[in-house]
Amino acid sequence: MIIETLSVFPEMFDSVMHASILGRAEAKGLFSFRAYDLRDWTHDRHRTVDDEPYGGGQGMLMKCEPLYEAIEDISSTGPRPRVVFFTPCGDRFTQATAERLAAEERLLLVCGRYEGMDERVYDLADERLSIGDYVLTGGELPAMVVADAVVRLLPGALGNAMSSEDESFSSAGLLEYAQYTRPAEYRGKTVPETLLSGDHARVDAWRRRNAIERTCRWRPDLLEDADLTDEERAYARSLLHEGSEGHA
């Protein structure tokens, strides 16, 4: 997979995109990354990428011309990229979006700054994404969030020890079960006895039950779409009722 970004702060991507799992995935040849500087497609002395909004108002907007020329240039060689614009008005990015984008051959992630972009640039977008309802200073961090979530899904990115199966938001739609490592007792806090038992069937049952309990407590909104047996659903309902009746 080829992942490219277009922004006025290409250096923001340096550490994140080449560190940790992403760095290893890149070294293994699972993807290549390149951050383009939008100012390379300006023609004036000041390398201007922004201008005032027609009709007045606060702040500046990204101009059309550098974005159009950059996206046309970048797209003119190699496989046609899927062009993703980052904007607070975009569709909410989720794990399902990450799974869909992980199947693409080439992604071009376009990051805005200022108060937004001239509306006409969105004609170049295959899709618009937001990472959530909070205000950031630009689209670079959202692009890194998306790149991180996508790259770890590429076959081989996580190595043999880990897999992207069996985790929060993919395993039956539940939160992950609690996990512990050595020592078995720390400052009087003990590890649940079942996990020390070596009995894999008991461990699996404990984890499943624990995942349901944690989801009931912290993310009851996930239960509706969770993949539960009738028995598990009855257990979840009993926990939810217990919570609303004010028991400990």
* Residue with the shortest CB distance to ligand 9D3: 136
Evaluate whether 239 touches 209 at the Cβ level (below 8 Å).
no
Does 88 participate in binding ligand 9D3 (rule CB under 6 A)?
A: yes
From the list 21-29, 48-56, 137-145, 197-205, the region that binds ligand 9D3 by CB under 6 A is 137-145
> Are 87 and 116 in contact, with CB atoms under 8 Å apart?
yes
Least distance in angstroms from the C-beta of 230 to ligand 9D3: 39
Chosen residue from 61, 112, 157, 226 binding ligand 9D3 by CB under 6 A: 112
* 57, 132, 192, 220: residue in contact with ligand 9D3 (rule CB under 6 A): 132
Task: Tell me the closest approach of the beta carbon of residue 55 to ligand 9D3, in angstroms.
Answer: 15
d(CA 72, CA 61): 20
- What residue has token string 């496989």? 79
Tell whether residue 55 is a contact of ligand 9D3 (CB under 6 A).
no
Query: Judged by CB under 6 A, which stretch of 40-48, 134-142, 146-154, 221-229 contacts ligand 9D3?
Result: 134-142
Cα(57)–Cα(48) distance, integer angstroms: 19
CA-CA distance, 174 to 170, in Å (whole number)? 8
Query: Counting contacts by CB under 6 A, is residue 136 touching ligand 9D3?
Result: yes
Answer positive or negative: Cα dihedral of 226, 227, 230, 235.
Answer: negative
